Amino acid sequence: MYEGVVQDLIDELGRLPGVGPKSAQRIAFHLLQADPVDVRRLADVLLEVKAKVKFCSTCFNVSEDEQCRICRDPRRDPSVLCVVEEYKDVVAIERTREYRGRYHVLGGAISPIDGIGPDQLRIRELMTRLADGVVTEVILATDPNLEGEATATYLTRMLKVMDLRVTRLASGLPVGGDLEYADEVTLGRAFAGRRAAE
């Protein structure tokens, strides 16, 4: 429908997650009229990301070096290991400034529908990391959804044989929310996990 290269651009943009045909068109038209300098900067950063960004050889976090900042940081507690699904979960947890241990990024969650079983995740690498006995607590911080729960259950079973404390993040009411708007599962978990008032 569009002049060749414009259609190519719409097609490429339409392959991005969350970008439907309409948005792809809108973005393409924006780029057509945009300053060439801005478009070149976007193209450059795309190439740079692929050239520079690697995955940490220890924890599989995103990194510009062989080892990520967190694995290299001697102030991080090597005895606590937080297992997450994705790099973005590391970022979310780092943002809290609550956690001073290290990470292990699985690369997803068990999801039979999507053909993702334990072998597709970095579980073997996790076991290898735990073998030297330095880690004494593993915090399972997978997503609180079906796939995340399945992954946590699977890992709990695998880790049971090791001399480790295995913990999970607390479920409950989100801070700042209204109790009446909480879904029943969350509210149920909040009851089950109730603690003595201080």
Counting contacts by CB under 8 A, is residue 87 touching its own copies? Answer: yes
- Which of the residues 26 through 55 are near its own copies (CB under 8 A)? 26-32, 36, 38-50, 52-53
Nearer of residues 32 and 127 to its own copies, judged by Cβ: 32
The CA distance from 124 to 48, in Å, is 30
Counting contacts by CB under 8 A, is residue 69 touching its own copies? Answer: yes
Measured from the Cβ of residue 148, the count of other Cβ atoms closer than 10 Å reads: 21
Nearer of residues 69 and 129 to its own copies, judged by Cβ: 69
Which among 35, 86, 80 is positioned nearest to 60, based on CA atoms? Answer: 86
Counting contacts by CB under 8 A, is residue 125 touching its own copies? Answer: no
For residue 52 the two structure tokens come to 């520079």
Nearer of residues 22 and 194 to its own copies, judged by Cβ: 22
Counting contacts by CB under 8 A, is residue 185 touching its own copies? Answer: no
Bridge partners, residue 102, by sequence: 81
> What residues have CB less than 8 Å from 60, skipping those under 6 apart?
104, 105, 106, 107, 122, 125
Q: What is the nearest approach in angstroms of its own copies to the Cβ of residue 72?
A: 12
The CA distance from 145 to 181, in Å, is 18
List of residues contacting its own copies (CB under 8 A):
1-6, 8-9, 12-13, 15-19, 23, 25-32, 36, 38-50, 52-53, 62-64, 68-69, 86-88, 91, 94-95
